[in-house]
Structure 1
Amino acid sequence: MQTLLLGPDDVAEHADLPAVIDAVASAFAADARGDTIMPAKSYIDLPQYNGDFRSMPAYVHAGDWDAAAVKWVNVHPDNPADHDLPTVLGTLIYSDPETAFPLAVMDGTVLTRLRTGAAAAVATDHLAVADADSLGLVGAGTQAYTQLEAIAAVRDIETVVVADRDRAKQTAFAEHFGDRFAVHAGSIEEAAGCDVLSTITPVESPIVDREWLGEHTHVNAIGADAAGKHEHDDRTLLDAKLVIDDYEQCTHSGEINVPWSEGTLSEADIYGELGSIVAGDLDGRIDDDGITLFDSTGLAIQDVATAHVAYQGARLADAGTEFELVGTSTSGRP
């Protein structure tokens, strides 16, 4: 029996983004129903290399499909300058939960980009105003491209404001999407006034003021993925209908982690988890809601869902490279 090797181009081509959004939504709902197993993300900190490794295993049973996977991913900020490598590198092993056979080994970097955008799209679909047509982006890196593609799949986005300290990145982003959207470079304040705002920065001190947000802005807080990171004014977190992806991860390393640890935020300030909204156990946006905010740390169940789409798509297209990863003999010791 052969394992399928899927590189970044394979994942990008065969993990159709609308299908990924649907699968990630199903995974959130499955989690709310108790149909997932997701141990806490584990970290290996390597201060001598200014980096860390993260291990993210999960199992998802989502109605007509189930799957298991583990992602091994890192954050090494010095990689681009010192080693000509990306800051984040990921590898995912996708397994048959019935037999444990490794069905695929695939690139986890593109996969992470897709599942992060998909989670924001799911949150936007449930929490943004129905007629949202403007999107603000703070940060013009790779994830910004996926945020726009994914959010435009659930709302009719027409106008995009992108803010970044790097003017070249702003220009490149505007040129990339200029034939599909009215994109212009702007300030963080301009971006924050849009119907939907996605923030994708690694800052540790808030850069988005409460008063800059529109009356009904929905915020996807993406950047905080480690303890100490914090993009948004505490007043925003206190005023908003605050939705998180996972209690343990968000209180440890999400957008809320700093004010939570300081006692500024408490459980009473959290409306609920996104999975409960997708499953129908909690309301999403209602008529009298003002600002809504989704704290996205990125869950292993999202990786499993995206890997499922990529694997199924690649199999249907007869794509990828088959190879023998493990022996299938039943003799001998494990």
Structure 2
Amino acid sequence: MRVAIVHEWFSGIGGSEKVVKAFHELFPDAPVYVFVHNKNNMPEEYNKMDIRTSYLQKIPFSKTKYQKLLPLMPHAVEQYDLSDYDLVISSSTCCAKGVITKADTLHICYCHTPMRYGWDLYHEYIKDKSTIMKWIISSQMKNIRLWDKLSSDRVDCFLANSNNVAKRIQKNYRRNSKVIYPPVDTDFYTLKGECGDYYLIVSRLVGYKRVDLAIEVFNELNLPLVIIGGGEEYKKYKTMANSNISFLGRLSDEEIRNYYRECKAFVFPGEEDFGITPVEAQACGRPVIAYGKGGTLETVIEGQTGLFFYNQDKQSLKEAVIKMEKSYKIFDSKVIRKNALRFSVNRFKSEIMDFVTEKVMEFHNKV
């Protein structure tokens, strides 16, 4: 069976890239189609894949400013010639699902989320823009939204990375989906040693992750906070922070694992579709303080593996941190890790292969 994998971009490692890695381990001969590939930001194991980029790769600055190219992505994804493949697996957060396949090619989309800035986060996305920019974005987004809905009909089977996302697939595309949680490397992220005295954030430093909220709270509480990750808000956040907050930039997985293992608790102030980093922290036995909305409601157990705060504001998070300060010793690291094991890589691969096998048989019986 000839298989192709379609993803949006290889510009750094996040949860969706780890899903693509698992797909490629299942289908090692499959080429990976991406809009742009920034080799400098990707581990060698990804760079060794058979990566096939779109014409967007040739545009100056596309490897770092690819988000600006959204209006071109629907056209770019439709230029991939996938006529030689029996199975196409798309890993989609915006446009990858829009590939055009032949009638006898099965297209399975693993949807990390419908295009959030086109649907449920649209008003938040434009609220700080100028009047002129709002007009430009709204006129473009109307067409992109129409294409997004239309292109969802090209998918034969949808997979969702959480029940949270499955609801949005139904809402935006009127399509049913099966939930298969993404893979977390619980063999790599393991228990070791005693916890330290610092709190930890591992995140891309972009606005919607709400790292700024955590900085404000920890500035007030004067508790040690370590922030790992880079992004467009790095300089702004570093300027906001007091001396009790450390910024370490991008680190290796081994270094991040050490910080997971030794933190007092992991802090997750944003709303995510799933959110892999809270599960990685739990695999290392550390409790999580999470915003009680989105994917964390499916991965964190209140009072057993972490604490929720339900208003995304400074006071609500502050109260949760104070509560953790008083109660972190009651959390059992083995219980926390056991919860994380239900998201293992082997479990993911097994569920994916069972689903693919079932759908391939159904599809070819119909064809």
Higher-strand-fraction structure = 1
Higher-helix-fraction structure = 2
User: Which protein has the larger Cα radius of gyration, Structure 1 or Structure 2?
Assistant: 2
TM-score (norm 1): 0.33
Structure ranking higher on relative contact order (CA contacts 8 Å, 6+ apart):
1
